[in-house]
């Protein structure tokens, strides 16, 4: 099976390592090649254009892991491609034409947006508890941030980060209904090399049916901090609370806690789960490798994935929400991080934990 990675940077190399691990651990013959604007110091076959790569390499799977601003132009170059596309989140930036992207991808055999927190055992377990017990969502709240202030990589801003939390709300509570935004506040700044007024944080309120949602996401959070809290009501009108914590203290280390309060107010723990996977070769790649393995098996063996992939309709619906956040965020004058002559940037070979 042939896999083409378009954009062999930080994310692209994560896919390379993941597919190499899958090939070694399953024995499935996988061959990799990449497209880039310039050749990198790797022995993988290189193509300088998407078209050439599609014709000469004829990949079964294409991974789109270019920077956010290049997603739309690259996805359009895939027009007519009939294989499987894995696309890094977010689908595109708020400035791009969504109809053109849907048209370009109309013939693909499959599509998965990389919403990697779906592949956490903690989120999967909560999803199953909600479904099994018929819990009705009353309230959800998230805090989702990391520090990208000194990052050398371009970004379209915090829409690229808040997408994880927004997706988890709908994925864990599919019966609650689509999130409708009510209010959005934000801050723009020069935190990124991508501009002087890039949206670095958003604070939102909204509704999913009768449930109310609050959330905060930021690319200027001093530390990685990823929590989603839920309150449900069960069939006996009892309030149930659940908290998901992701990638703490290290990438892929996730926790779930579900509890209620008895008639006397005492806490009753219903479920607790923590995972700290450490399979050799999969450092920071445990969740990504589950997504990639399911794609490889879907393509090679026509095996349905354990849970449906985040397909193109899901990706487009999420993108509409992100676009709304970006256009409607009420923001004060932009904040300024760069006061000296030069911007301090992390080195490209910084450790995976600080970049991730
Ligand atoms: N799911 C996650 O948790 C996660 C984590 C990190 C990143 N991401 C996503 O992954 C994407 C890439 O981010 P990154 O952190 O990997 O950035 P990065 O390290 O800057 O890598 C991006 C790569 O894409 C290449 N590229 C850009 N435009 C291109 C084009 N038009 N054609 C071919 N190659 C092109 C760049 O090449 P040059 O060297 O020529 O610039 C670079 O090698 C972003 O969309 C980001 O949001 C997702």
Q: Does the pLDDT value for residue 353 go beyond 70?
A: no
Contact 248, 256 (CB under 8 A): no
Cα(3) to centroid(ligand 1), Å: 17
Atom of ligand 1 at shortest range from CA of 66:
24
| Distance separating alpha carbons of residues 307 and 294, to the nearest angstrom | 9
Ligand 1 mutation pick, 6, 49, 54, 66, max ligand atoms within 8 A of CB: 66
Helix (H) or strand (E) holding 147: strand 136-147
Q: In the structure, which protein residues have their CB atom closer than 6 angstroms to any atom of ligand 1?
A: 6-12, 35-38, 65-68, 70, 73-74, 88-89, 114, 116, 153, 160
Q: Does the pLDDT value for residue 354 go beyond 80?
A: no
How many CA atoms within 13 Å lie on the side-chain side of 52?
9
pTM of the entire predicted model: 0.96
Cα(305) to centroid(ligand 1), Å: 26
Within 8 A by CB and 6+ apart from 323, the residues are 94, 159
| Distance separating alpha carbons of residues 12 and 21, to the nearest angstrom | 14
Q: What percent of the chain has pLDDT over 70?
A: 99
Cα(49) to centroid(ligand 1), Å: 16
Q: For residue range 151-175, list pLDDT tens digits in order.
A: 899 999 999 999 999 999 999 999 9
Ligand 1 mutation pick, 5, 6, 8, 11, max ligand atoms within 8 A of CB: 11
Atom of ligand 1 at shortest range from CA of 74:
31
In the prediction, which pLDDT does 302 show? 95
| Distance separating alpha carbons of residues 277 and 279, to the nearest angstrom | 6
Q: For residue range 118-155, list pLDDT tens digits in order.
A: 999 999 999 999 999 999 999 999 999 999 998 899 99
Ligand 1 mutation pick, 67, 78, 148, 154, max ligand atoms within 8 A of CB: 67
Number of other residues whose CB lies within 10 A of the CB of residue 17: 18
The three-point CA angle 212-215-220 to 5° equals 175
CATH architecture of 2-116: 3-Layer(aba) Sandwich (3.40)
Cα(8) to centroid(ligand 1), Å: 7
Question: What kind of fold does domain 117-277+311-355 have according to CATH?
Answer: Dihydrodipicolinate Reductase; domain 2 (3.30.360)
Q: Does the pLDDT value for residue 351 go beyond 80?
A: no
Q: Among candidates 316, 328, 11, which has minimal Cα distance to 167?
A: 316
Residue showing tokens 């309150």: 231
| Distance separating alpha carbons of residues 54 and 36, to the nearest angstrom | 13
Q: For residue range 182-238, list pLDDT tens digits in order.
A: 999 999 999 999 999 999 999 999 999 999 999 999 999 999 999 999 999 999 999
Partnered with residue 213 across adjacent β-strands are 140, 206
- And the tokens for 203? 């604070």
Residue showing tokens 């990389």: 114
Contact 270, 240 (CB under 8 A): yes
| Distance separating alpha carbons of residues 204 and 325, to the nearest angstrom | 8
Atom of ligand 1 at shortest range from CA of 8:
43
- Break the chain into its structural domains and give their ranges: 2-116, 117-277+311-355
Residue nearest to atom 7 of ligand 1 (CA): 11
Ligand 1 mutation pick, 7, 37, 93, 315, max ligand atoms within 8 A of CB: 7
- And the tokens for 196? 């002087």
Q: What is the mean pLDDT of the chain?
A: 96
Q: Angle, nearest 10°, between helix axes 286-301 and 10-26? A: 60
| Distance separating alpha carbons of residues 22 and 86, to the nearest angstrom | 16
E-strand spans in 246-324?
A: 254-261, 267-275
Cα(161) to centroid(ligand 1), Å: 14
Atom of ligand 1 at shortest range from CA of 11:
16
Partnered with residue 254 across adjacent β-strands are 275
Q: Does the pLDDT value for residue 352 go beyond 70?
A: no
Q: Does the pLDDT value for residue 298 go beyond 70?
A: yes
Sheet holding 220-233, edge to edge: 179-189, 198-208, 211-218, 136-147, 220-233, 239-245, 254-261, 267-275
Residue nearest to atom 18 of ligand 1 (CA): 9
Atom of ligand 1 at shortest range from CA of 160:
47
| Distance separating alpha carbons of residues 127 and 273, to the nearest angstrom | 13
Cα(79) to centroid(ligand 1), Å: 20
In the prediction, which pLDDT does 345 show? 86
Residue nearest to atom 21 of ligand 1 (CA): 9
């Amino acid at each position: 099976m042939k896999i083409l990675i378009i954009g062999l940077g930080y994310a692209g190399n994560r896919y390379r390592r993941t597919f190499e691990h899958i090939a070694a651990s399953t024995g499935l013959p996988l061959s990799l090649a990449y497209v880039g604007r310039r050749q990198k110091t790797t022995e993988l076959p290189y193509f300088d254009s998407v078209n050439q790569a599609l014709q000469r390499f004829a990949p079964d799977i294409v991974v789109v892991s270019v920077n956010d601003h290049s997603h739309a132009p690259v996805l359009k170059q895939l027009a007519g491609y009939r294989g499987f596309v894995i696309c890094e989140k977010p689908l595109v930036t708020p400035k791009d034409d969504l109809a053109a992207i849907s048209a370009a991808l109309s013939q693909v055999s499959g599509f998965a947006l990389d919403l990697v927190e779906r592949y956490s055992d903690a989120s999967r377990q909560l999803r199953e508890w909600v479904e099994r017990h018929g819990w009705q969502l009353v309230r959800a709240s998230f805090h989702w941030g990391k520090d990208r202030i000194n990052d050398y990589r371009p970004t379209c801003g915090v829409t690229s980060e808040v997408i994880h939390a927004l997706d988890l709300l709908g994925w864990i509570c599919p019966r609650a209904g689509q999130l409708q935004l009510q209010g959005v506040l934000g801050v723009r700044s020069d935190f990124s090399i991508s501009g002087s007024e890039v949206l670095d944080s958003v604070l939102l309120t909204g509704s999913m049916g009768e449930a109310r949602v609050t959330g905060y996401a930021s690319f200027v959070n001093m530390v990685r901090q990823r929590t989603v809290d839920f309150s449900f009501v069960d069939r006996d009108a009892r309030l149930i609370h659940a908290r998901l914590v992701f990638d703490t203290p290290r990438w892929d280390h996730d926790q779930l806690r579900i509890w209620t309060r008895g008639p006397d107010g005492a806490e009753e723990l219903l479920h607790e789960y923590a995972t700290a996977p450490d399979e050799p070769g999969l450092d920071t790649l445990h969740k990504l490798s589950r997504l990639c393995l399911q794609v490889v098996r879907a393509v090679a063996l026509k095996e349905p994935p354990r849970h449906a992939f985040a397909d193109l309709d899901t990706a487009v619906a999420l993108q509409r929400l992100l676009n709304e956040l970006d256009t409607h965020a009420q923001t004060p004058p932009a904040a300024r991080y760069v006061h000296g002559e030069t911007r301090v940037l992390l080195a490209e070979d910084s450790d995976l934990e600080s970049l991730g």
